[in-house]
Amino acid sequence: MIDKQILLLTVFLFLTLVLFGQAVRKETRLYTTMEAGEELKMDIYKSDSVPLQPQPCLMFVFGGGFKEGKRDAEIYSPFFNYFAVRGFTVVSIDYRLGMKGQKAPGIFNNKPLRNAIDQAVADLYSATAYLLENAGELRIDPSLIIISGSSAGAITVLQADYEKRDKHPSADVLPEDFRYAGVISFAGAIFSTEGVPSYAQRPAPTLFFHGSADKLVPYDKTRFFSRGMFGSKSLAKKFRSERYPYMFYSMENVGHEASEYPMQEFLPEIEQFISDYVFDSKQWMTDIRFKDMFRKSDNSTTPGNYYN
């Protein structure tokens, strides 16, 4: 009898997984064409098993140092599918790769990086505007658009929310009253010329993942006077001092791989953040020092060997 119950449970779980896998469908759309003729596209993931009503939207910006990467890389599939079957419209976008062919950025060589960030943020805004204009057709709730990104993509989403809250001219393409509902950053930072970024308006609730041994995107900050890159540690400190809601996973002794593996291993935690901070608007400030004693970290990646 017990064996039969186990068998039935196994069959049920298998069929559930199969049905979930089949339920997620992907549609590719062109959202803008640049003056040089470059086409920027987005992949839209939805599940057929959810009610026909407006859904929260989870946008994603891929990583690759602003010089490489693609919106549909296989490593992101668990992240896309997990949230699609849970009632989200998941949108992964192209953006211009402004660091392609450029030398490693640094304190005294930051103009190419700054330009690359500006381009990526502009493209994210353009993709957001497309979703807002087509929200009815796509069944997206415009008040529940969450932006997420890995590495260069994480820099892009953090920068985008920062510039929107500061009413930067780059954000004029979006409606004045529009706000991103949440931000999820996998090893990101913000470029600032004013020191640690200061928000004119309260930022979106933000989830930070960052490895304390990251040598590619600064875990804390890299600055020269007031100009520099401000990573998750310095941003979380700022959020706490200003009483902005956030959650910070400090991945102890982990390198830049924190830009990817949380999208496979921390999916329930990410979902819980969205439920608590975005849907329920909880005003929590959470710092988590996470240490996996079995994980062997690779902290050898630096701007010098990544770009050259």
CATH number of the domain within which 135 lies: 3.40.50.1820
* Mean predicted lDDT score pLDDT of the chain: 91
pLDDT level of residue 142 (50, 70, 90 thresholds): very high
The pLDDT assigned to 8 comes to 44
The answer to whether residue 72 sits within a structural domain is: yes
What length does the chain have? Answer: 308
Q: What is the pLDDT of residue 3?
A: 53
Residue 19 lies in a domain: no
On whether residue 263 sits in a domain, the answer given is yes
What is the average pLDDT across 172-190? 98
Is 293 contained in some domain?
yes
- Sign of CA pseudo-dihedral 124, 128, 129, 133: positive
What is the pLDDT confidence band of residue 184, given thresholds at 50, 70 and 90? very high
- pLDDT single digits (tens) 229-240: 999 999 999 999
DSSP state letters, 63-130: -STTTS--TT-GGGHHHHHHHHTTTPEEEEE----TTTTPPPPBTTB-HHHHHHHHHHHHHHHHHHHH
| Within-domain flag for 21 | no
Query: What pLDDT does residue 104 have?
Result: 85
Q: Does the pLDDT value for residue 5 go beyond 70?
A: no
Chain segment 27-39, per-residue pLDDT in tens: 999 999 998 889 9
Instruction: Categorize the per-residue pLDDT at 120 as very low, low, confident or very high, splitting at 50, 70 and 90.
Output: very high
Across the range 113-128, mean pLDDT stands at: 97
Supply the pLDDT for residue 1.
Answer: 43
- Residue 11 pLDDT: 43
Confidence of residue 147 (pLDDT cuts 50, 70, 90): very high
pLDDT score, position 299:
78
Q: Is residue 254 part of a domain?
A: yes
Q: What is the pLDDT of residue 15?
A: 43
Q: What percent of the chain has pLDDT over 90?
A: 80
Instruction: Work out whether the CA dihedral 257, 234, 218, 182 comes out positive or negative.
Output: positive
At residue 36, the pLDDT reads 85
- Any domain includes 20: no
Cβ-based neighbours of 253, under 8 Å, separated by 6 or more = 211, 212, 213, 291, 297, 299
**For the chain, how many structural domains are there in total?**
1
Residue pLDDT, tens place only, 77-96: 999 999 999 999 999 999 99
Range of the domain at 172: 27-307
Q: Is the pLDDT of residue 12 over 80?
A: no
Residue 10 lies in a domain: no
